[in-house]
């Protein structure tokens, strides 16, 4: 589904070179729910941007759904973002001047769907998040949790292969956060691959797999949802135990 091999991202200024990602390797299979954690400045957002084709990378190979997206044109990248990826942002990123239906409709218009198809998909997506009755409301008339559900509906409306969620509960209280997380779990159960960046270890623990990024590199450990085993951090100097071998991926170097 998603394969990153030796990805590096370097930000250069006249004075300094910053390595946001270094020799970053990651494989995500179809249907997985992966949580990405890490301290501030570790490279989580850079990873998310590269995974979502929001920005390019300096070196390495990135395959998404079998397609090498290393040297795609801007238009092709936009088309892939629109068709294959659904984005959920920490700040919801709804357009304040558009009502809920129009917000959900935004990516569908860029896909070129006709009005009837757009209407059907908007209705279905808003029903999925329980807000179909309020489709004429403006975002400012909703609570934070409801706004994030609208953002999820917008991400789902295009029926993407995977969702990229950037701190989807970061701006929500614990009750709202739980509701949103339950919604994401339902979506994942329905077959959509989800990669979620979060600071919240509680939420991360609910994902099938937890990836920690430290200093632009992956520290990958497997954590089963509801499992009793303590997550085991794997480094490049340490081999995984036999019992974890099947579920543990190669650590970035």
Residues interacting with another protein, by CB under 8 A?
45, 48-49, 52-55, 74-75, 78-79, 81-83, 87, 89-91, 93, 95-99, 102, 105-107, 109-112, 138, 154, 158, 166
Of the two residues 20 and 251, which places its CB atom closer to another protein in the complex? Answer: 20
CA distances from 105 to 16, 33, 151, 157 (A): 42, 26, 11, 8
Of the two residues 169 and 222, which places its CB atom closer to another protein in the complex? Answer: 169
Of the two residues 140 and 245, which places its CB atom closer to another protein in the complex? Answer: 140
Q: How far apart (Å, rounded) are the C-alpha atoms in residues 186 and 190?
A: 6
Contacts of 102 (CB under 8 A, 6+ apart): 95
Of the two residues 42 and 222, which places its CB atom closer to another protein in the complex? Answer: 42
Shortest reach from residue 236's CB to another protein, in Å? 28
Shortest reach from residue 181's CB to another protein, in Å? 19
Shortest reach from residue 85's CB to another protein, in Å? 9
Shortest reach from residue 27's CB to another protein, in Å? 22
Phi, psi of 63 (to 5 degrees): -115, 130
Contacts of 53 (CB under 8 A, 6+ apart): 64, 69, 72, 77, 80, 81, 85
Q: Which two tokens stand for residue 177?
A: 């956060």
């Amino acid at each position: 589904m998603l394969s990153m091999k030796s990805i590096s991202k370097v930000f250069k200024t006249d004075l300094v070179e910053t390595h946001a990602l270094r020799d970053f390797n990651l494989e995500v299979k179809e249907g997985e729910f992966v949580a990405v954690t890490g301290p501030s400045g570790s490279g989580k957002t850079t990873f998310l941007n590269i995974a979502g084709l929001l920005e390019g990378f300096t070196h390495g190979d990135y395959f998404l759904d079998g397609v090498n997206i290393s040297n795609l044109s801007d238009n092709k990248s936009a088309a892939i973002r629109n068709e294959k990826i659904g984005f959920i942002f920490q700040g919801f990123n709804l357009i304040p001047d558009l009502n809920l239906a129009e917000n959900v409709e935004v990516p569908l218009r860029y896909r070129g769907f006709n009005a009837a198809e757009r209407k059907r998909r908007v209705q279905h997506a808003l029903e999925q998040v329980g807000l179909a009755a309020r489709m004429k409301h403006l975002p400012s008339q909703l609570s934070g949790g409801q706004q994030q559900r609208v953002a999820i509906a917008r991400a789902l409306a295009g029926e993407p292969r995977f969702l990229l969620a950037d701190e989807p509960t970061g701006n929500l209280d614990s009750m709202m956060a739980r509701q949103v997380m339950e919604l994401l779990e339902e979506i994942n159960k329905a077959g959509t691959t989800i990669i979620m960046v979060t600071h919240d270890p509680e939420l991360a623990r609910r994902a099938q797999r937890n990836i920690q990024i430290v200093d632009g590199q992956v520290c990958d450990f497997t954590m089963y949802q509801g499992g009793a085993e303590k997550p085991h951090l794997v480094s490049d100097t340490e081999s995984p135990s036999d019992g974890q071998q099947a579920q543990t991926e190669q650590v970035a170097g």
